[in-house]
Structure 1
Amino acid sequence: MSSTFDLYRKITALPQGKRLFSVLYGQKAPYFASIHMRVQEMKPHLGQVVIPKRRSVKNHIGTIHAIAACNGLEAAMGLLAEATCPPGMRWLPKGMDVQYLAKSTSALTCTAETTEADWAGAPDVPVTVKAVTEDGTVTVAGTIHLWVVPAKNR
């Protein structure tokens, strides 16, 4: 279990814990902070964040920009990977294949999911991702490809 997952479990047990963890996780990479995400779920094989619809993530037509949605998908994948990656291993994203299916007209719930079978195929691990509006419309869907290898001793 990673230190990120340990931190998630400890902090989210506190009042306002998910809010606090969301801020901390958003600081892990500066581009995560740019989407103002709220972490909804972190557990093995599932990561989920919500991107609120606000000016900083909108494009010229007033919808959530596709790349902001991709940042949310990558953040959700990172939660999943931190909670799922076996001890002694490390993960690295090696690619993202996504399709933009509809306009993102409301807040987005970005979800990343895997199965045990996906991880059994390491070092190549596909992570299924999707971004969904409040009315259930899937606006972005695809796969983030991970490279899962033994961690190097430092």
Structure 2
Amino acid sequence: MSQNYVLKLYNKLTKLPLGNKMFSMFAARKAPYFKTVSPVISKLVPGECHCLIKKKRAVENHIGTVHVIAICNGLEMAMGFMAEASIPKHLRWIPKGMQVDYTAKADSNIRCVAVLPDNHWQEGDVFVEINAYDDNDVVVVKGHIKLWVSAKKAK
């Protein structure tokens, strides 16, 4: 399977100094709301994406931990770029929902991970596993994002 434009760009830019930051800035421009958490994509391969959110005042809640909505934003970004980098050319996707559980305090930087097991794409509902980890690899948020996958219309 040949790489699509997202994966090609990621692989090209990450060979450069500050390439992950350059790619992440490009990524956040595609969906401007992502910029609110200053995400950095640290890994992107077919079926998997990691996105780092730095703990800073702008993403904290009233008790000084990373706000779960900021984490969900990072998880959605990780899912979206995993999907764009992975989905076969004849298919398209759209999110239908997100289910998350808060499992621990998010009191450090957060690594948001989206995984499609076995990079298995099919038409219909597809569930992407999402987990957010603190600096000690403790899961602070876990869940899934449900996608609707359908065939692209013939041109």
TM-score under structure 1 length normalisation = 0.92
Separation (CA, whole Å) in 2 of partners of 1:44 and 1:138: 22
Is 1:144 matched with 2:145? yes
1:153, CA displacement in angstroms?
Answer: 5.2
Separation (CA, whole Å) in 2 of partners of 1:108 and 1:133: 5
- The sequence identity of aligned pairs, in percent, is 42
Matches within 5 A, 1:33-72: 33-72=35-74
Separation (CA, whole Å) in 1 of partners of 2:116 and 2:94: 15
Separation (CA, whole Å) in 2 of partners of 1:49 and 1:117: 18
CA contact (8 A) 1:50 1:110 kept: yes
Q: 1:20 to 1:129 in 2, by over 3 A?
A: same
Structure 1 residue ranges without an equivalent (≥5): none
Post-superposition Cα deviations, 1:49-82, rounded to whole Å, max 9, x if no partner, equal: 0100011100111110000000010011012101
Counterpart residue number, 2:97 = 95
CA contact (8 A) 1:90 1:150 kept: yes
TM-score under structure 2 length normalisation = 0.92
Separation (CA, whole Å) in 1 of partners of 2:51 and 2:139: 15
Separation (CA, whole Å) in 2 of partners of 1:78 and 1:2: 14
Structure 2 residue ranges without an equivalent (≥5): none
Runs (4+) off by over 3 Å = none
Which sits farther off after the overlay, 5-14 or 73-82? Answer: 5-14
Separation (CA, whole Å) in 1 of partners of 2:21 and 2:15: 11
